[in-house]
Amino acid sequence: MEIIKAGDEVLLYLDHRRTYLVRVEEGRVFHTHKGFLNLGELIGKPIGSYIESSLGVKFYALKPLIRDRILKAARRTQVLYPKDIGYLLVRLGIGPGCRVAEAGTGSGALTCALANAVRPDGRVYSYDVRPELQRVAAINIERAGLKPYVELRVGDVTVGIDEEELDAVVLDMATPWLAVPVAHRALAGGGVFASFSPTIEQVMKTVHALRERPFVEVETVEIIMRRINVEENRTRPETLMIGHSGYITTARKVLD
């Protein structure tokens, strides 16, 4: 049983649409439209316990998962959705001890997911040409407790990647096809290339670049997720859904 301590971050759950990532501190008050909560009341309680607001509404304190940190992260760029990140992690085949290069860092959402997968012995080398974005990402990565597993690099991966014999290279950038030659050099034999692109024109250029080099299993998919509202005699799909986020292209390096 995990006990909440002062300084811990918890996810306050009201319902499936309203959750709040907060830091528990003695004397700290958190205001909501359902009344205010004295967060210090959570200290010493087990994860999963509830706290009542000033209006008597229950909020449950959950341990933040990577998906929660991704959705609640401070951001200056659009982050990948968990549906896309989940597929990417499986497709990359990475786990503890793996070494991964990523570009661009953006707000660090994918970086956190990659770091969580490769810890405690692996590393994520995250590149971005915009240092101001990496400052935001650094905060999100540290809040998630993943700083020891990430090395932030300011640089252009179309020019070069410092690391070699990598298990995977993951690109979330405007021109991934320009980085294909560099990614091939940086990957170990059998290593996985992946890119996330919002437009089909980007995919076409990237796939063409992959097919010009020793890559196999070149594949592009689109992940579409639809939630279902489950109520007695009223179960049906949600009216609104994320129709499109992006295309994921993957391939595996082989040797000449």
In a domain, residue 2? The reply is no
The whole-angstrom separation of Cα 37 and Cα 140 is 24
CATH at 41: 3.10.330.20
Residue numbers in the chain where pLDDT is lower than 70 = 74-78
Per-residue pLDDT, 215: 98
User: Cα-flanking dihedrals φ and ψ of residue 124, to 5°?
Assistant: -115, 125
Backbone angles phi, psi at 129, to 5 degrees: -85, -5
How do residues 170-203 score in pLDDT, each as one tens digit? 999 999 999 999 999 999 999 999 999 999 999 9
221 occurs within a structural domain: yes
**pLDDT for the residue 71:** 82
Domain housing 244: 68-253
Domain boundary among 44, 62, 80: 62
The bridge status of strand 58-62 relative to strand 35-38 is: unpaired
191 and 169 in a single domain? The answer is yes
191, 252 contact by CB (below 8 A): yes
- Any idea what the CATH number is for the domain that residue 92 is in? 3.40.50.150
pLDDT per residue over 197-238, tens digit each? 999 999 999 999 999 999 999 999 999 999 999 999 999 998
- The residue type found at 144 is A
What total of structural domains would you count in the chain? 2
What is the structure's pLDDT at 1?
A: 87
The β-bridge relationship of strands 50-52 and 58-62 is antiparallel
- The predicted model scores a pTM of 0.87
